[in-house]
Amino acid sequence: MNILQTFIRLFFPKTCLNCDERLLENEQFICSNCNNSLKFLENICIICGAPKTTGECNVCRINEFQFDKARSVFMFNKVVQNMIHEFKYNEMTQIAKFMGMKAQEYIERFQPFDHIDYIVPVPLHKVKKRSRGFNQAEYLAREISKNLNWKHLPKLIKRKKFTETQTKLNKDQRKKNVSLAFAINIKYDIKGKNILLVDDVFTTGATANSITIALKEKQVNKVYVLTIARAL
Ligand SMILES: [Zn+2]
């Protein structure tokens, strides 16, 4: 630290983004207490919670989905929630790096996926991207791709249009509406490839599912989903 940084730090000490505890010199944005509360969600099916060390989950709702496997790095808690929130709204590249490192550690430890050819972020609609300035999923995918040496294709999937208000539609109309929302960039040859789709939070799985349908129409082999957390 130079003199100016020391000076700033003296009057505006950095605090933990979760508990507001003053941070020590070696701590970046969360204190070690909060850091210790982060637990890996191990290698379980994030749809039903069943431990699946090999293969796909055949017992749960994953049968409703077209993707082959879905995993989350962390169990959801307040610290994860606050990190993702800060990450989304205050563009914190430090958090992206941290999460990318944790995702790498998770993947290397549990090896939940077969060979990955391409890593692809869930796209954000242009209008949202403009107002927020960046796509958090793209930041995550880039970090993971650097760490694991997997090819990153941030422009493979495009959102075609704003999904209209879904509430007035029935279930079938809703499904159709969502699956029309994504387009695959044909300049990439993805036939027979395995793709890892990355996002920050897994909620209903509807978006990942629609993207998977679009990808499998282009004869992609496997589609895996990795998120930082599984929303409760
Ligand atoms: Zn803390």
Please write the tens of the pLDDT for every residue from 80-96.
999 998 887 777 788 99
Please tell me the total count of domains within the chain: 1
Per-residue pLDDT of 7-27, as tens digits, reads 666 666 789 999 999 999 888
Whether 20 maps to a domain, the answer reads no
Is residue 9 included in any domain, yes or no?
no
**Does residue 17 belong to any structural domain of this protein?**
no
33, part of any domain:
no
Cα(82) to centroid of ligand 1, in Å?
11
**pLDDT digits 0-9 by tens, 134-154:** 888 999 999 999 999 999 999
Residue 2: inside a domain: no
**In-domain check, residue 174:** yes
- Ligand 1 (single-atom ion) residues, CB below 5 Å: 16, 18-19, 21, 31, 34
Q: Is residue 21 part of a domain?
A: no
pLDDT-based confidence at residue 53 (cuts at 50, 70, 90)? very low
Identify the CATH number of the domain in which residue 114 sits.
Answer: 3.40.50.2020
The structure's pTM equals 0.83
Domain that holds residue 100: 41-230
Tell me how far the alpha carbon of residue 83 lies from the centroid of ligand 1, in angstroms: 11
Whole-Å CA distances, 206 to 54, 172, 188: 24, 13, 24
Could you give the CA distance from residue 178 to residue 209 in angstroms, rounded to a whole number? 9
Residue 7 in domain: no
